[in-house]
Structure 1
Amino acid sequence: MTQRRMPLLDAASLQLEGKNMPMHIAALMTFSYPSSLDEAERRDFVSRLIARWREETRIVFPWNQVLTRPTRWQFRPATREIYELDLEYHLRQWSLPAPGGEKELGQMIAWLHELPMDLEKPLWECHVIEGLSDNRFALYIKIHHALVDGISGTRLLVGSLSTSADTLSVPMWAKDQTEQAPKAESTPAKPGLPSFGDVKAAFEASLKLRRSNDELTTFRSTPDTILNGPIGPHRRVATQQFGLARLKTLAKAADATINDVVMAITGGALREYLLEANALPEDSLTAALPVSTRKPGDVSIGNQVSMLFGSLGTNIADPALRLAQVKRSTRAGKALLNDLSPNAVNFYSLFSTGPFLTSTMLGFGSSGRQLFNTTISNVPGQREIRYLNGAELLHVYPVSLIMPGVPLNFTCVSHGDFLNFGIVACRDRVPHVQRLAVAMTTAFEELERCVLNSPQG
């Protein structure tokens, strides 16, 4: 029996699993039916796909991993390889009620996403959803964060699809994608042992986050809001998308990054949302910003991430000035991280967020002052058109997780000509989450007008 010990970051994702905090991440992928299908063929497309995929007997890493002990209460969890899947459990078929719009799809995804995974089974599920409007169907795939991070998860899912409309796609659990990259790249180089200087630099950097700083966004920058507090078991999910060309034009004109623009848009949406609730704090909301620590060419599976923190400029009415504040904040955060060696970055992550994660494991994560107000993550995707048995992939929406005290998450991933957003929130803590998605469009258009002096088509 082959066993695999989880690396520390992967293990932490399992140990954080709780009653109201399932630790899986997911993707919602929407497809258009092949135009060549007649009405009867289109009606049977999903059923035939399910039937063919359930005949697949191959299973590769990480889809073939199951916990040796199905509990989060273990210091160094391990997984073992299995050779047979219960595909009636892992692969399921659903149909949306009419009219099959974004509201109905969001409600179904919220329900599927709030359900915890069975730790006695391989830690993934695939749900195929038909009945969508505009000649579409969808795949919702969730996989435990102990197995993948956003980058490796997106690569596994999109990479399993075909680049040709004439090719039948292999199920993601049967496609060994390590064969697509050189062996040296698919296995990351092990870092050397940290020096005393690495540990010292990491500790000193983490201490800066616990002090007030005029330039750097720290934990003391975070205000209390009506959004932050305990979370319940239920979720809300909304989606949004923006054209990449418009985002790039705006970022270039403002001498900013696309991430800066995303933060400014999110800040504008949160400002409008809290103003409507008469609950906008005087100080700006802050965000945790996951940063990949992968080296170029690293296509390994697992978690490789650190964190920086930034201001969202929610206390600034002018969109252009809000973006300027975001830029100053993120550049200060990047400077702090860039001053650390790769070995020191790992310890910095441990020192800076370790106390919060420990208190969350022990059930105290929602008590006391929060370190940040929300999480914003940008996952790189692919521009190449992909197909599932001839059905074109339209959008990939990330569906991430929330944590006690921080019940709102914005994650985006690029695909084709769009940057696609998935907004996940605690159902009880953040009502009307769809309003945030709409407010993002308003904030984007206002920022365009301020920076470009004219709306973009």
Structure 2
Amino acid sequence: MITRLTPQDTAFYRLESSSNPIHIGSLAIVRNTESGEGGGAAILDYDRLVDLVESRLALVPRYRRKVREIPLSLGRPVWVEDSRFDITYHVRRSALPGPGTDEQLHDLIARLASHPLDPARPLWEMYLIERLSDGRCAIFTKSHSALVDGDTALEIGHVILDAGPAPRDVADDAWIAPREPGDIELLVGALGHLARQPRKALEVARDAGAGAVAVLETAGRAAESAASVVKGVLTGAHSPLNTRTSRNRRFTVVRTELADYRTIRRRFDCSINDAILAVVTGALRNWLLSRGEALTESTTLRTVVPMSVYVEGTNGDQAQTASEVSSFLIDLPVGEPNPVIRLSHIAHAIEFNGRHRRGVRARTLVHLAGFAPASLHAMSVRAASTFAEHTFNLVITNAPGPQAPMYIGGARMLEMYPVSPLLRNQASSVGITSYDGHVFYGLNADRDAMADIGVLAAAVRDSMEEMLGACV
């Protein structure tokens, strides 16, 4: 089957460069022995993971499709079935020098996240990383942002997770590699499409002479954001978060307890999202101070905050389903020294912006039990891309995950961290996911511009302590 990329799919596909790979990453840590001590037999090995992924590909059919350009650029690229699809090319294995430490794992993830995907194949890879300490292994998945839209195309992490140790039954997949269309066939199809829709000829001409940003403009998304002006002090060339990026990355994580955010919510009558952003703001403040930045009480960082709008569970805490992903700009008050006042500013800003948000549909997610948040992070990056490049300092994606244990091939998932891409001239990205009573931060950063990413990670913990101290 041949389907045309949407304007936004096309934008993401063409935005990618060697220094800006635009793929969504997801890191899952699983307990891979019965005892958890590392001495027992592995529950999930490479062959079992390959079988699991292959059996679930029918649920994410775009993962067998690759992108083909139309000859002479007569139209947007198309998705076509990969006649040479090889599951073992996409599902790979790696190992740490055992027993591997978390720091070694994070270094490996940084290297894997630095490499663009092969444009001649379906745009995704998955790695089984073995020999972690304490009987654990890791699964790192990266999917191109053009591949996942959260509605018609989900991230593969959705479909390999199960609610129990026994993998759920999935209908047999009778997929057979089809014949790929030739260039002449694609050209004839594009000409026929233009003949039926003459107004598309203007779009083709625009695409042929413009970059991916212009594609986004033709989609009608960037016009509004281009009118936004970055406010505050730490903006543009003055912000250490906005600089030219290299092709290399650093990655680190922070694990926090969901119960702590609930404590903040109860004390100050705010939302969990408000509490999370307040902790991030305090962390950014401490990080900026560690760099010697001169902050005043009015100093802000303008942040794109795509957030999942979800239906809460019966206890008011557990996110069950997401109905849309909303995106808006918030000025985080990093200059404010009082954590309670910071939280108040953030809560009011989110309440105001919530009435004027731009939503991205997530209808598929509403009906998918046990969903993983990776698709929501993919949608969040899409939402963030609708803002003009020089109008913000940082992207923070926050997606709720299941609050009950999940399993991959029978192995219990212990932790899950998003690895969000860096948009152009963004030195860092912050991805946040809640799962099974915890809130997990994935901090992805440019290797040259953010050598002190570990300072930011430590600042998250310090900021949490400061917020909890204010609750007393």
Which bin holds the TM-score, normalised by the shorter protein?
0.7 to 0.9
**Residue correspondence of structure 1 range 157-236 to structure 2 within 5 A:** 157-167=157-167, 206=225, 209-210=228-229, 219=231, 223=235, 224-236=238-250
Distance 1:85 1:245 in 2: 45
User: One-letter code of the match for 1:162?
Assistant: D
Deviation, 1:11, is 2.1
Displacement of 1:161: 2.0
Instruction: Give the 5 Å matches for 1:323-362.
Output: 323-337=343-357, 356=388
**Counterpart position of 1:240:** 254
Separation of aligned partners in 2, 1:299 and 1:74? 37
Structure 2 counterpart of 1:11: 10
- Report the Cα distance in structure 1 between the residues aligned to 2:436 and 2:383, rounded to whole angstroms: 38
The 5 Å alignment of 1:54-73 reads: 59=58, 60-69=60-69
Q: TM-score, normalised by structure 2?
A: 0.73
Q: Which residue of 1 aligns with 2:364?
A: none
SS at match of 2:41: helix
Distance in 1, Cα, partners of 2:156 & 2:12? 19
Q: Secondary structure at the match of 2:357?
A: helix
- Tell me what 1:183 maps to: none
SS of 1:286 mapped into structure 2:
strand
* Counterpart residue number, 1:88: 88
8 Å contact kept, 1:34–1:390: no
Q: CA deviation at 1:5?
A: 1.2
Within 5 Å, which residues of 2 pair with 1:32-71?
32-35=31-34, 42=41, 45-50=44-49, 52=51, 59=58, 60-69=60-69
Q: Of 439, 443, 466, which residue of structure 2 is paired with 1:423?
A: 443
One-letter identity of the residue aligned with 1:143: S
Which residue does the alignment assign to 1:276? 290
The 3 A distance-change label for structure 1 pair 351 and 165 is: closer
CA shift, 1:131, in A, is 1.3
Mapped to 1, the partners of 2:263 and 2:174 lie a distance apart of 37
Per-residue CA distance 1:44-63 (angstroms, 9 max, x = gap): 85244356458869654121
Structure-2 separation of matches of 1:295 and 1:10: 28
Q: Indicate the residue corresponding to 2:200 in structure 1.
A: none
Q: Which residue of 1 aligns with 2:271?
A: 257
**2:403–2:437 Cα contact (<8 Å) kept:** yes
Distance of aligned partners of 1:149 and 1:314 in 2 relative to their CA distance in 1, 3 Å threshold = farther
For the Cα contact (< 8 Å) 1:155–1:381, is it kept in 2? no
Distance (Å, rounded) in 1 between the aligned partners of 2:285 and 2:302: 12
RMSD of aligned residue pairs (Cα, Å): 4.0
> What is the aligned partner in structure 2 of residue 25 from structure 1?
24
* SS, match of residue 18 in structure 2: coil
In 2, the alpha carbon distance for the partners of 1:341 and 1:42 equals: 44
Residue 78 of structure 2: aligned partner: 78
Distance in 2, matches of 1:94 and 1:9, equals 33
Deviates more, 1:97-106 or 1:265-274: 97-106
Identify the residue that residue 360 of structure 1 maps to in structure 2: none
Q: Please state how far the C-alpha of 1:202 moved relative to its aligned partner.
A: 9.0
How many positions carry a matched residue from both structures? 397
What is the one-letter code of the residue matched to 1:91? Answer: V
| Equivalent position of 1:289 in the other structure | 305
What percentage of aligned pairs have identical amino acids? 26
Q: Deviations over 1:267-309 (max 9, x none)?
A: 1111111211112443211211124589999999xxx855311
Distance 1:352 1:125 in 2: 23
SS of residue in 2 equivalent to 1:120 = coil
Aligned to 1:106, the other structure's residue is in SS state helix
- Aligned residue number for residue 100 of structure 1: 100
SS of structure 2 residue aligned to 1:118? coil
Between the aligned partners of 1:389 and 1:57, the Cα distance in structure 2 is 12
